[in-house]
Amino acid sequence: MSKDKKNKDIRPSVPKDTSESGTEGKKISARELAGKLYDLDKLVYELSGSSLGRVFTNDRERNVTIIEKALNENGEHIIRSELALIGNMARSIQDEEDHCRALSAYNELFNEFREIAAHPGTLVASERDVQLNELNLHNRFSRKDRLIICINRTYGSAANNVGLGIADALHIDYYDAEIFMRVLQRTAGEGGAVPLTRSETDIINAQIGAGNPALSYRPQNLTWQEHLQRFRRYHGLSARDAYFFAESELLLDMAKEQDFVIMGRCADIVMRNNNIPHVSIFLTAPEKQRIRRIMEVNQVDERTARRQMHQADRHRAEYYEFFTNHRWDDAANYDITLNTSMFGVQGSIDFLLQILENAGLGGKR
């Protein structure tokens, strides 16, 4: 074979018009596609003899599950960059036969992704993923699963009252930010770890909006010695990052042992990422009603109430999106989104309990 032929690149071919061939509308399994992407990366890695450009690790099952989840949540664009990186690595392969083999495999997968982009709706989730992600509570929970209800909320929507009411009616535990922090502190102490100091938890609360915005707090500037002490204490992580990971570990441990309602803490995504069945709820209300409630509860004027509302919502949104890469207020991220002002506190409690009861979860425990 000539030198020119050896160096010839294989470009993704333009797919033929499939409208008459009957292939348009063909359903493609997200898991099957995820497996193909992983296998292509592995093939290119093996043929190139270099791990510098490898996108995924050796754990096939774990990586395929991650890719599948990304596809189901965001479509093909979420892994387009990974496919491009694999293609770049394939083009760098020097051996002629391996070069052609890798790029042919890349070309085939590239066209599958192009087909998905051209015909939205062709990508289908696995039956297991469908059961976990759609509001099919009958199928989602098995008899051995704990009942975990994760509630996110806008400030002033009376969500804490609703969450506490649900927990009380179901006779299960309830955790808001303050209660959860106390449990985490106690758990850290029992495990021999150094618990967070009061000033550190105040800073964390100020950052993520877990505390009441009516209680103003201005964190003090730290000396370089204090910064160094924290760096050593959290193995290089910031206090907020260390606290989040500790929270997540505690949540996963709790999910094995008890039923509970948890407010915030990114609990819905922590559970989802670990394939733990749960019910995710977002509670909100119109700004006018929320401001009026904040004025009554915090005994502040309208201007202050509005500022507190926006501050708390902003902190919660930033925290949630930073650690989960999801929009905090996107209804598509939740099983149920409810306007609490429509039914009031008790009406919202009754409404949500009825949904759980209809799904066979009201008397689950």
Crossing angle (nearest 10°) for helices 302-324 and 287-298: 110
Number of domains the chain contains: 2
Residues 113 and 180 in one domain: no
Task: Check pLDDT > 50 for residue 21.
Answer: no
**Are 193 and 245 within 8 A, CB to CB?**
no
pLDDT band at 20 (very low <50, low <70, confident <90, very high): very low
Q: Which domain holds residue 97?
A: 3-127
Does residue 29 share a domain with residue 162? no
Residues 6+ apart with CB under 8 A from 72: 30, 123, 125, 129, 133
pLDDT in tens, 227-282: 445 444 445 556 667 777 878 888 888 898 899 999 998 999 999 888 889 999 99
Q: Is residue 132 part of a domain?
A: no
pLDDT digits 0-9 by tens, 52-110: 556 676 678 888 887 777 777 655 555 666 777 777 778 778 888 888 888 888 888 87
* Whether residues 55 and 185 fall in one domain: no
Report, as an integer, the average pLDDT of 163-189. Answer: 81
Asked if the structure places residue 314 within a domain, the reply is: yes
Same domain, 71 and 208: no
Same structural domain for residues 91 and 214?
no
Shared domain check, 103 and 9 = yes
Do 155 and 276 sit in the same domain of this protein? yes
List CB contacts of 192: < 8 A, sequence separation 6 or more. Answer: none
Please tell me the predicted confidence (pLDDT) of residue 56. 72
User: 99, 127, 155: which is the final residue of a domain?
Assistant: 127
Same domain? For 176 and 298 the reply is: yes
Q: What is the pLDDT of residue 73?
A: 67
Task: Tell me how many degrees the CA angle 155-161-167 measures, rounded to the nearest 5.
Answer: 125
Average pLDDT on 276-293 reads: 95
In terms of domains, do 67 and 99 share one?
yes
Mean pLDDT, rounded, for 158-175? 92
Here the CATH number for the domain that contains residue 163 is 3.40.50.300
pTM of the model: 0.57
Same domain, yes or no, for 190 and 110? no
Q: Are 113 and 147 members of one domain?
A: no
pLDDT of 19 reads: 38
Placement of tokens 């803490």 in the chain: 265
Are residues 210 and 105 part of one domain?
Answer: no
